[in-house]
Structure 1
Amino acid sequence: MRSIWKGAITFGLVNVPVKVYSATEDHDVSLHQVHDKDGGRIRYKRVCELDGEVVEYAHIAKAFDDGERTVVLTDADMALLPAERSREIDVVEFVPSDQVDPIMFEKSYYLEPDSKSVKAYALLRRTLEETDRTAIVKFALRQKTRLGALRVRGDVLMLQSLLWDDEVREAKFPSLDEKVTITDKELQMSQALVASFESDFSPEKFTDDYQEQLRDLIEAKLEKGDALDTAETFGDAAEGDGGGEVLDLMEALRRSVEKNREASKDAPSGGKAAKKPAAKKAPAKKKSA
């Protein structure tokens, strides 16, 4: 991994120099737009609406339009903002970890010690662990002032940018005001269904089926050409389960519990289904000359 930013965690007189790394990555197959007639690449040009000229990136600035006037903001203007120049991850408070609502989490970053001594880093990590606290911080990254949560993941300090409070919408649905009567029997059946699905979360058990099938499709097209029968690659579509039969809640719960119990009986020893072989990866792109 390559660090994307360097700074320091600060609280009180404590200063912990760190390097920042993106903690996640996109695994989607990269696609581009082409002309369906001949496969030619579609390119976009940055054209000025006033003079019709193509504008190079070096001459593109940001602007704000209030409907009547436009204010142009250059890179030099943006660099004057104090938050943009700051290289500090400033701790503003330590809160109980369960008070941070997961809906506020945005982007995750790993923090690596960036000094000869890692003692301050280790001390902060240990303190957060033993007090079960999360540090709420403010920092600036990529021309935005951000709110963040600093917490521990394994042996590493992790920084997660948070949405601002006014960026989280409230959920107000009139349908939820309707009074609903739930019987003890319905609740018991629902709990039995949940119990039949209970497990420890292991993210490695799950794969992105869409991306795997997309890679299979690309590989098949390379081997067979464009005249490709989709069913030949992916098999026949799954059959329906009853042609739109409508079940009441209790019957649906009962059938779900029974179906899951039967599946558990038929599963091989060890309780886990056999893992599918890894899908072939799409061939690497050829570099342009």
Structure 2
Amino acid sequence: MPRSTWKGAVSFGLVTIPVTLYAATEEKDISFRQVHPADGGRIKYKRVCEVCGQEIPFAEIGKGYETADGRMVILEASDFNELPLPTAKQVEIVQFVDADEIDPAAYDKAYFLKADGPGAKPYVLLREGLARSHKAAVVKVALRSRESLALIRAHGDLLLLQTLLWPDELRDGQFAAPREDVAASPAEVDMASMFIDQLTAPYDPSQFTDSYRDALEQVVAAKLGDTPVPEPTTTSEGTGEVVDLVAALKASVEAAKKRREAAAKAG
């Protein structure tokens, strides 16, 4: 079982559900060390105080908040534990919404909610109510030294809490939109729709793997002498200049058909 992230209660009207929060995701990435290429030695950094010049052990490093005029406020652990913030230990449901009302760009981190002690029955009640109504609960919760907006929704047998970015944390992406005078013809849209139809299938995440991580692990194994050096993969880079979009999309549709037929035979 992973380490818990937060412990408190969810307030569902007059019903209180004691819960513990656990991270629902973990990153599977390859980590690197900063090294000196000449001898493979690791690069180390010292934490030095800019005032006295002393090296400070990590356990003695505190948290300071610098004001706009340059003053520094030193915060103690008790300052964080005793914040005058209702959401520090209590999550109150303030609204129910359709989950598809939320911009997917606002989703941040996912957590499993686990019922504690007498919380199992009201936990199931909230889970079943959300599942039947196809709604999600909007809440505010204080996690990792900050307050977040979040959704609680049914996820199989579990309740899942999904933190959301605040509105002012979402950038306006209008700068990336094509010029208004750029348009696609009906024939081009029809052909694009045919290509989408050819590649439409039920989503099965188990069919996808991290090819970059796999390739990097092959390179590492080869450098250790465990495997032969892998052949580099060559890809054709497009210029972005397509003279006939309909012809290009038609060729894409035919290629997609052949891939699906080959996959069906292999399966």
TM superposition score normalised by structure 1 = 0.83
Identity %, equivalent residues: 39
Q: CA RMSD in A?
A: 2.4
* Residues 1:60 and 2:69 aligned together: no
**How many correspondences in the alignment?**
265
5+ residue gaps, structure 1: 273-289
Counterpart AA for 2:248: A
1:45·1:54 contact (CA, 8 Å) conserved in 2?
A: yes
How big is each residue's C-alpha offset from its partner over 1:182-223, in whole Å with a ceiling of 9 and x where there is no partner?
322112111111111111111111000111112222222222
CA shift in 2, pair 1:142/1:244, >3 Å: closer
Query: Larger deviation: 149-158 or 246-255?
Result: 246-255
5+ residue gaps, structure 2: none
Runs (4+) off by over 4 Å: 241-246
1:84·1:144 contact (CA, 8 Å) conserved in 2?
A: no
Tell me what 2:206 maps to: 204
Deviation at 1:175, TM superposition (A): 5.3
CA shift in 2, pair 1:99/1:174, >3 Å: closer
- For residues 54 and 65 of structure 2, what CA distance do their matches in structure 1 show? 21
Matches within 5 A, 1:95-174: 95-116=97-118, 118-173=120-175
- For residues 69 and 89 of structure 2, what CA distance do their matches in structure 1 show? 35
CA shift in 2, pair 1:174/1:196, >3 Å: closer
- For residues 7 and 174 of structure 1, what CA distance do their matches in structure 2 show? 42
Tell me what 1:35 maps to: 36
Counterpart AA for 1:9: V
How big is each residue's C-alpha offset from its partner over 1:30-77, in whole Å with a ceiling of 9 and x where there is no partner?
321111111111111110111211012233222232243222223233
How big is each residue's C-alpha offset from its partner over 1:89-126, in whole Å with a ceiling of 9 and x where there is no partner?
22111112221221111000011111146211111000
Tell me what 1:4 maps to: 5
CA shift in 2, pair 1:245/1:236, >3 Å: farther
Of 249, 258, 266, the residue aligned with 2:262 is: 266
Of 183, 186, 203, the residue aligned with 1:184 is: 186
Deviation at 1:87, TM superposition (A): 1.4
